[in-house]
Chains A and B, each alone.
Chain A
Amino acid sequence: MMQRLLIAMVLLLAPTGARAAGSCRALASPKLSELGLEDLDVRFAELETHLKKGLSVTLLSEVEAGDRRFAFGCRIFYDLWDEAYMVFPIVGAVEVKERTALVKKLAGLPKACTTVTLPWALKKGEPVDVTTRLNPVTEEQVAKTRKWLAERGIGANGAMAGRAAYAMVDLKQTQSFQRRCDVK
């Protein structure tokens, strides 16, 4: 009985999260290296539906090579009045104020979202990890929402009468993908 219980506990405690796959290419260079993400696990059709509702999409990638860090990505808007997309690149975690040209139709993620020229050079075979987040939520926003919910006694196991306390409220977390780059 105890053995079965332990097995059940181990199975339940085992980590269930799987790392998203996807490829990444980077070119070794004596000066500045270019890095590009391919086959991101993002279904562009889903993003397009989101965008067509007038909501923005932000894609932010954090590059980690040894003790060096860099971030890049983009923010995409769909203007309901112009019926066109606007892409604002993010480089070095700072949003570039100038947008790319208005685009009537997007076939996939714009190049600005997936490709960047790093401010440093990569060596061949050097390990480079990239974490990409879709619509990241800021810590400040998380703290604000937490406070708002707590003050109203709402949330999982919140102040709901009786067994309604079991109602699960799991706020949607940011979708993220991790990959290791192959530096050639």
Chain B
Amino acid sequence: MTQRLLRLGLFLLLACQGAVGAPEAEAQSRAAVEQIVFVDQIQIIGNADLSDAVLKAAFDLPIGRPLSREALDEHLRAGKQRLEGLGYFRSIDVALKKGNSRGHYRVVLTVEAERSSYFGMTLVRNDNKDESFRGPLKSQTDTYQAYAGSRNLFSTGLRGEFALLFSKTFSDSEVIDSEQAMPGAAASLYDPSLLDSSWFAGGAAGYFSSKSKTSFNLTELPDGSVESKTKGQFSIFYGVVGRRIGLTTTSVGLSRFLSKFETQSSNPDDTTISYSAPATGLFARFSFSDKTYLTKVEPGSALAIDYNRDTAPHYEAPSTGLTALHTWMFGSTHAVTPTLAGQYDYSFSDDNERALSRTYDYSFKYDYVATPHLTLELGYGEYRVIDKGTETYPNSFPHRRKKFAVYYTSSGFLLSLAFQYGDVGLDREQDQLFLPNSDRFTQ
């Protein structure tokens, strides 16, 4: 009886040992026959900037799980492709090394980081010839911008940028000559992947001061001319949060505009006028775009609805504005990319003066994808007010713009040069020069 119990105990003990060791033994025998392998560890070399956890999450290789040799190979290839897509690394080398026992491996990732910091300059000259409500108008705007930023701020994965800006505008018409100088600074911070999710968030702030001088040569005036000087400053704050699902992006944001200006006139009858104009804006944007450079075609469209409420009266009553913007792009990453944009602005003031404008913008871009990066852009735009306008600005004439722009971008120091002619109405690049707007974040 005792012997039978001992035998049963020994049998159960061996059975338990067998049960515990069985999967490994089975996997090892399969490894020899069917090439089942295990990856026990990922070793990362050369990654000083990005957290290893972020890198491993992108590589997404199952650790300690049995894989066919073929599946491991596909995992390694796809993982490398995703790491390349991150844009953080100049080179990525993947290698398998022997692990602790046969069929077991460790993966060695050797990466060389792309420089995450960048700096550069943008110079834009804009010549304009147009019809104003008091005859032909010629104007010229020079904009200079110097910027520095990082795509991986303090190794956190955050993107930040600081820019110094200066613009100078001259305009000349039969009745009005003016010049304006506007220096400013702007900073932005952006998290492209909140907690490694598909959500993103960003914010920007800008401060600008402005000094302008305007001379009116009006025959209606007793002495024929009058000169006014305006100086002031304004600040803009901006925040956005959104999410990407597949190839679509949806975002909502809030902007706040604060300004304070003072105008002095040479006409002794006029007194100094001081005014401030805070305004609040809300926007919602939806866009679809495939920009991953995996396909030849890069279709995209965007719809934006902006709401602005200007709460402080200055020249006019407080006003409210609504803007709907839609953009269609269809082209190729290696050829001409036609872009078509339409914008509708509707604004009305509390004294019921209303204006509705419609802007069309067509452009053809050719991207020469190489280092340095060269973009040529030919554009045509039309801006037309289709309502009566306001009494102050009776916009009943069309504005047209022609644009020829060259953007040259080298790696390291980035230099953008653009020459534009007849620029009135919708101009995304021009907007971007002054403030990191939502397009920066969502496109």
Interface residues of A, Cβ cutoff 8 Å to B: 5, 8-9, 12-13, 53-56, 75, 77, 80-81, 135, 137, 141-142, 144-172
Closest residue on chain B to residue A151 by CB atoms:
B198
The chain A residue with its CB closest to the CB of B414 is A163
Contacts A55-B96, A169-B85, A171-B84 given: A146-B149 contact, CB under 8 Å? no
B290, A81: Cβ atoms closer than 8 Å? no
Closest B residue to A80 by CB, please name it: B98
Q: In the complex, A155→B192 CA distance in Å?
A: 12
Instruction: State A184–B130 Cα separation when bound (angstroms).
Output: 72
B69 x A13 contact (CB < 8 A): no
Chain A CB within 8 A of B7 CB: no
A176 CB, nearest partner CB in chain B, Å: 15
A80, chain B: closest CB distance, angstroms: 5
Interchain nearest-CB distance for B218 vs A (Å) = 39
Q: Which residues of B contact A55 (CB under 8 A)?
A: 73, 76, 94-96
Q: For residue A168, which residues in chain B have a CB less than 8 angstroms away from its CB?
A: 293, 369, 371, 373
Does residue B319 face the partner (Cβ distance < 8 Å to A)? no
The residue that A54 contacts in the complex, of B35, B96, B245, with Cβ under 8 A, is B96
Cβ B85 vs Cβ A149 within 8 A: yes
List B398-425 residues whose CB lies under 8 Å from chain A.
404, 409, 414, 416
Once bound together, how far apart are the Cα atoms of A160 and B117, in whole Å? 12
**A163–B413 Cα gap in the complex (Å)?**
11
Is residue B308 contacting chain A, with contact meaning CB distance below 8 A? no
Among B155-163, B276-284, B355-363, the one that faces the other chain is B155-163
Kindly identify which residue among A5, A155, A157, A166 contacts B85, using a CB–CB cutoff of 8 Å. Answer: A155
A169 to B373, Cβ gap below 8 A? no
Min CB gap B210→A, angstroms: 23
Query: Do A162 and B85 form a contact, CB below 8 Å, given A150-B290, A151-B245, A153-B192?
Result: no
Q: Are B246 and A145 in contact (CB under 8 A)?
A: no
Given contacts A153-B192, A160-B151, A161-B440, contact A54 B200 (CB under 8 A): no
What A residues does B76 contact at CB under 8 A?
55
Given B114, B188, B292, B371, which contacts A156 in the complex, CB threshold below 8 Å?
B292
Chain A nearest Cβ from B229, distance in angstroms? 34
Contacts A55-B95, A145-B78, A161-B441 known; 20 new A-B pairs at CB < 8 A = A9-B366, A12-B374, A53-B95, A56-B70, A141-B74, A145-B294, A149-B292, A150-B244, A150-B247, A152-B193, A153-B200, A153-B244, A154-B86, A157-B291, A159-B200, A161-B161, A164-B118, A164-B161, A166-B409, A170-B369
Interface: B190 (CB within 8 A): yes
Q: Which residues of A have CB within 8 Å of B436?
A: 161-162
